[in-house]
Amino acid sequence: MNGRIQSLWRYPVKGFTPEPLEFATLTAGDFFPCDRIYAVEDGPSGFDPAAPKFVSKQKFTVLAKIAEVARARTAYDEATGRFSVTAEGRAAFAANLTEAVGRQAFAGWLADFLGEAATGPLQVVQAPGHRFTDHPLGYVSIINLASVRDLEARIGRPVDPLRFRANLYVEGWPAWIEADAKGAAVTLGGASASVFSPIVRCVATHVDPSTGERDMDLVRAIFDHRGDMNCGIYVSVTEGGALHAGDPAQFAA
């Protein structure tokens, strides 16, 4: 089944602003580049940087827990580690997240910004090679845009695909073809991958990524339409390669 990559996105800090990319290079057995490399603990999470393991997203400042996070607009410079934040009514902030002092400074800014919405204390956490994905093996996530449009038609209102916070958005696949694709091989530009799991959606999708408001129950809408809470797929990279917006995204025959 032939399709194409419509857009590529990364999320350097879990829960915060999506960043569009023109291209990315995938590596076999690895995560999407510069994706979810930092997270902000909302109170002690049990995460140990010396022995990093999967921790539930509910331990962090994510949209599923704190919708106001979407009102902080962030950007990350991978080359320098510089992380910048803007929010309405507040002075712009920047710090280097590769340094402990920079991580502490961002945690302080965020605590002031979120106020009582966070339980705290807040702490920016990271560990070399670790990724704060929602699935223990959530290497690369894909959303089929035809499925989103089908969902829009069912509920009678627009749905911003960025509510699903995927790495890749694909055009050209029939709606919901990905729902039965577990185990399928897929070509993504110059890379190859294997589908290993559907993505179970949560209340993060209820948050408008532009306003930070919970304004629709997409989990219920998906369940009423599909009988489950799945939208999108996780794939593991089996052969590395470069991919660009416009490149093929094809299920193997």
**Average pLDDT for residues 117-132, to the nearest whole number?**
95
Distance CA 226, CA 237 (A): 28
Of the chain, the percentage scoring pLDDT greater than 70 comes to 100
**Average pLDDT for residues 57-74, to the nearest whole number?**
96
**Average pLDDT for residues 224-240, to the nearest whole number?**
96
What is the structure's pLDDT at 225?
94
What would the two tokens of residue 154 be? 């069912």
What is the structure's pLDDT at 205?
96
Residue 252 pLDDT grade (very low, low, confident, very high; cuts 50, 70, 90): confident
Distance CA 107, CA 223 (A): 36
Helices (H), the chain: 100-114, 145-155, 218-226
What is the structure's pLDDT at 1?
74
What is the structure's pLDDT at 253?
58
CA-CA-CA-CA dihedral for 35, 4, 146, 159, to nearest 10: 40
Domains of the chain, by residue range, sit at 2-31+135-251, 39-125
Q: What are phi and psi of 114, to 5 degrees?
A: -80, -30
CATH class of 2-31+135-251: mainly beta
**Average pLDDT for residues 179-196, to the nearest whole number?**
96
**Average pLDDT for residues 29-53, to the nearest whole number?**
96
**Average pLDDT for residues 177-202, to the nearest whole number?**
96
Distance CA 96, CA 103 (A): 7
Return all residues near 84 (Cβ < 8 A) that are at least 6 apart. Answer: 74, 75, 76, 92, 93, 94
Q: Tokens 């106001």 label which residue? A: 68
Is the pLDDT assigned to residue 142 strictly greater than 90? yes
Distance CA 51, CA 123 (A): 17
What would the two tokens of residue 43 be? 């109170």
Return all residues near 30 (Cβ < 8 A) that are at least 6 apart. Answer: 139, 237, 240
Residue 93 pLDDT grade (very low, low, confident, very high; cuts 50, 70, 90): very high
**Average pLDDT for residues 190-216, to the nearest whole number?**
95
Distance CA 60, CA 14 (A): 8
**Average pLDDT for residues 225-234, to the nearest whole number?**
96
- DSSP letter string, 121-184: -EEEE--TT----SSTT--EEEEEHHHHHHHHHHHTS---GGGG--SEEEESSPTTGGGG-TT-
Q: What are phi and psi of 89, to 5 degrees?
A: 80, 5
Q: What is the average pLDDT score of the chain? A: 95
Is the pLDDT assigned to residue 137 strictly greater than 90? no
**Average pLDDT for residues 172-199, to the nearest whole number?**
96
Residue 143 pLDDT grade (very low, low, confident, very high; cuts 50, 70, 90): very high
Is the pLDDT assigned to residue 241 strictly greater than 70? yes
Q: Decide: 64 and 57 in contact? Cβ < 8 Å.
A: yes
**Average pLDDT for residues 206-210, to the nearest whole number?**
94
Q: Classify residue 30 as exposed, middle or buried by CB count within 10 Å of its CB (0-12, 13-18, 19+).
A: middle
Q: What are phi and psi of 237, to 5 degrees?
A: -80, 120
How many other CB atoms are found less than 10 A from the CB of residue 139?
A: 22
Classify residue 207 by its DSSP letter: B
